[in-house]
Amino acid sequence: MPGGTSRDARRTERYIDGLMEAEEHGAAEVPMDLDLDPAVLVAARELRASLTRVHPSFRFEEGLAARLAQVGAATQGPRREPAAQVFASPIAPFRAPGLAVAAAAAAVGGSMASAGRTATRDGLAPLDVPHRLSLTSRSNRPFVVGGVGVASAAISLGAAYVAWRWSRGSQTPMVRAVRAARSGRGGHASGHGRRAAVLHGILGVMS
């Protein structure tokens, strides 16, 4: 009777499930089904005990692993994308973030979009390509480069200020005297010469 066979088949399935679960959890007793043929229960237990998993030899395992690695390495070359191609696009938005995002999306649109399709087809969460690109371009590169730019500008301003101060002639008499005394210092000027120059400068100031 087909209905009876189907019912018994379901019972047998439940029994095997219980048998395996009990073994997995180390249970001492196996669930019983009194409506099932005892011979079937015995056969299930016998098969569970006898049909053990067989492991190949260690030498075979390692040998096959090496051969698979060789085949994998042979197929790996053309499929791997160069790093520059992957990471070049986020650098571009640094100059003009708004435009660069679109440009980068267009540049890598093929590869990233195809990755997104693959992921969706395989049941993974789809990648939001433009979002990822904009985040990358705004948070990383401009921040780092902008900091360097501010520091560089500050140094330039400082240097310009010092140069301006240096080149600007002071109008105070004392400064003029000191400058005159300094200009009087020669590489080989004697101490007497320096003193005379200072006195000359002071006298000039006084006059």
Report the alpha-carbon distance of residue 52 to residue 12 in Å, rounded.
Answer: 20
Candidates 2-10, 106-114, 170-178, 190-198: pick the segment binding other proteins (CB under 8 A).
2-10
Is there binding between residue 167 and other proteins (CB under 8 A)? Answer: no
Tokens of 176: 């003029």
Rounded to the nearest whole angstrom, what is the least distance from the CB of residue 3 to other proteins in the complex? 12
Query: What length does the chain have?
Result: 207
The overall longest dimension of the chain from CA atoms, in Å, is 137
Q: How does 163-176 read in b/e, with b if 16+ C-beta sit within 10 Å? A: eeeeeeeeeeeeee
Q: How far apart are CA 185 and CA 178, in angstroms?
A: 11
* 37/128 with CB nearer other proteins: 37
Distance CA 147, CA 139 (A): 13
- Rounded to a whole number of angstroms, the minimum distance from the CB of residue 92 to other proteins is 24
Examine residue 27 and tell whether it contacts other proteins (CB under 8 A): no
- Mark 29-48 with x for binding to other proteins (rule: CB under 8 A) and - for no binding: --------x-xx-xxx-xxx
Binding site for other proteins (CB under 8 A): 5-6, 8-10, 12-13, 16, 20, 37, 39-40, 42-44, 46-56, 60-61, 64-65, 67-69, 71-73, 75-76, 80, 121-124
